[in-house]
Amino acid sequence: MLRIAACFVLSLVAAAPDDIVPPAAPPAKQPPAVPGGATGGATGGAPSAPATKPAAEPINLPSVPDKWLEKLDPLDRAALEAVRGWRMPALPKDGTWLGVAPDAEALKGKVVLIQSFTTADSSKSMLGKAATAAKQAIAAGDVVLIGLHTPEGAQDAAKVLRKPAAPTLVDSTGVMCDALGVFRAPVNVLIDRDGTVRFAGLTASGLKSAIKEVCAESAGARQPQPRPAVAAGPAQADLPTPTDVVDPRFVQDRRGQQAPTFYVESWVTPTPDPTGRVLVIDFWATWCVPCVAAIPHMNDLVQHYGDQVTVVGVSSEPANACMSNMRAKNLRMNYAIACDPSGAMSSFYGVKGIPACVVVTSDGIVRWQGEPNGLNSALLDPIVKANAEWFAKVSATMKDGRWAKALKDAPDRPIKGAKSKD
């Protein structure tokens, strides 16, 4: 069976309100201008407003040679790049350590190499490989190696990793991982003598080259600042909740509500990726004459909206029967098809007649319920526009706080041996 969070990967973006980092407070209101140009003080008039503290910025670092970089998922790479140039986050004082936790004072002036991994899979060997890559620099006293165990498998880390190759922080809450942009893929993070995050996600040969470069530098060349919290975008797309009566083929009116976990038993076509797109779910069946008649219209929608909309036809038939009937009737759909005889999702929407369509925006909110012919440009254009605007505002934060979100509500990729702090 396949469970995918509502709007698939975007469940990681649509966090609950208590997960959203509030935006920075607005700057203090400037005092009114003083007639005659007086600015206060000896010349009288209102005192001048205090100077606004400049926003923190990362150290401007040169790009890393492509041959040094490990091939990573684009989101993993973006998360690591977002941390480069900022000060290394402080190691948690109350964290669980395997081995003796490094003293903060002892790290000053040292190059710090952090290697992430989990004992839940083969990546547990990565800590030893990092120790080998940095062996000479560690022996010379230039590099301090620290292991970072991700939340996955954290509960059993102490049992599996009895003698770690370096002191290892078991980050069961994901706080340190999120601060460094580290997610499931094992990666290395190299910090220079000034505490600046310089490199991340390097290959073995790239790591050796980066260590050589950073160790050759003296301390005091940079003054990195701590990375500020990233303000989240709006929780929902700017669309009104409909007030009219829902289409009679639905018993439940879910418009304006959070969509349920997307569930199907099997996929007839490859699983689509609707990231940043409006999701249209078409409940149908091959034996349903109106459903088959609506296929050309659904194909037209796909052609018209392109990558702005993802259409998924969910049949109530077993996969074998659905595929056999599609071949027999020579049905051609230019969109994804899945099967769910259990009717899990259709029951949530109270579907009592097909074809029946549901529109869900990337924030996971149900926007419309009706029959296929109701899916026209007058309906979809404003939804597509609002969805694109919302996604543009929040996509920059998708790479941040992923462990916090995964530990809270990632039903399609369970985290073995990890427990949420709440």
Summarize pLDDT for 89-121 with one digit per residue, the tens. 999 877 899 999 998 888 999 999 999 999 999
Least confident of 219-228, 306-315, 396-405: 396-405
- 25 or 303: whose pLDDT is higher? 303
Taking alpha carbons only, the member of 308, 272, 282, 303 closest to residue 387 is 308
Q: Exposure pattern of 34-69 as b/e (b: 16+ CB <10 Å)?
A: eeeeeeeeeeebeeeeeeeeeeeebbeeeebeeebb
Residues spanned by the domain of 268? 2-9+235-409
Question: Do the domain assignments include residue 292?
Answer: yes
Question: Do the domain assignments include residue 418?
Answer: no
CB atoms within 10 A of CB 248: 10
For residues 371 and 356, is the Cβ–Cβ distance under 8 A?
A: yes
| Phi, psi of 282, deg, nearest 5 | -110, 105
> Are residues 373 and 389 located together in one domain of the fold?
yes
Long-range contacts of residues 243-247, Cβ cutoff 8 Å, at least 24 apart: 246/369, 246/370, 247/356, 247/369, 247/370, 247/371, 247/374
Question: Do the domain assignments include residue 202?
Answer: yes
> Are residues 227 and 137 located together in one domain of the fold?
yes
pLDDT for res 410: 44
What mean pLDDT value characterizes the chain? 85
- Residue 281 confidence class, pLDDT cut points 50, 70, 90: very high
How far apart are the C-alpha atoms of 407 and 410, rounded to whole Å? 7
How far apart are the C-alpha atoms of 312 and 373, rounded to whole Å? 16
How far apart are the C-alpha atoms of 102 and 97, rounded to whole Å? 10
Across the range 40-63, mean pLDDT stands at: 66
pLDDT for res 330: 96
pLDDT for res 355: 97
For residues 393 and 75, is the Cβ–Cβ distance under 8 A?
A: no
For residues 151 and 169, is the Cβ–Cβ distance under 8 A?
A: no
Question: How much of the chain, in percent, has pLDDT values that exceed 90?
Answer: 70
- Residue 49 confidence class, pLDDT cut points 50, 70, 90: low
Question: Do the domain assignments include residue 143?
Answer: yes
Tell me which of 211, 232, 253 is where a domain ends: 232
- 50 or 251: whose pLDDT is higher? 251
Question: Do the domain assignments include residue 262?
Answer: yes
pLDDT for res 50: 56
For residues 176 and 145, is the Cβ–Cβ distance under 8 A?
A: no
For residues 156 and 119, is the Cβ–Cβ distance under 8 A?
A: yes
232: pLDDT strictly greater than 80: no
For residues 280 and 259, is the Cβ–Cβ distance under 8 A?
A: no
Strand stretches in 77-142, DSSP E: 96-98, 111-117
> Are residues 95 and 132 located together in one domain of the fold?
yes
Query: How many structural domains are present in the chain?
Result: 2
Tell me which of 198, 232, 266 is where a domain ends: 232
Across the range 374-388, mean pLDDT stands at: 96
Tell me which of 232, 260, 279 is where a domain ends: 232
- 34 or 388: whose pLDDT is higher? 388
> Are residues 348 and 244 located together in one domain of the fold?
yes
Question: Do the domain assignments include residue 250?
Answer: yes
Least confident of 22-36, 236-250, 308-322, 397-411: 22-36
How far apart are the C-alpha atoms of 187 and 364, rounded to whole Å? 31
pLDDT for res 52: 62
For residues 5 and 410, is the Cβ–Cβ distance under 8 A?
A: yes
CB atoms within 10 A of CB 276: 21
23: pLDDT strictly greater than 80: no
| Antiparallel, parallel or unpaired: β 309-315 and 278-284 | parallel
pLDDT for res 395: 81
pLDDT for res 92: 83
pLDDT for res 209: 97
| pTM exceeds 0.75 for this model | no
Q: Kindly report, residue by residue over 116-175, the tens digit of the pLDDT.
A: 999 999 999 999 999 999 999 999 999 999 999 999 999 999 999 988 999 999 999 999
> Are residues 242 and 180 located together in one domain of the fold?
no
The CATH number of whichever domain residue 166 belongs to comes to 3.40.30.10
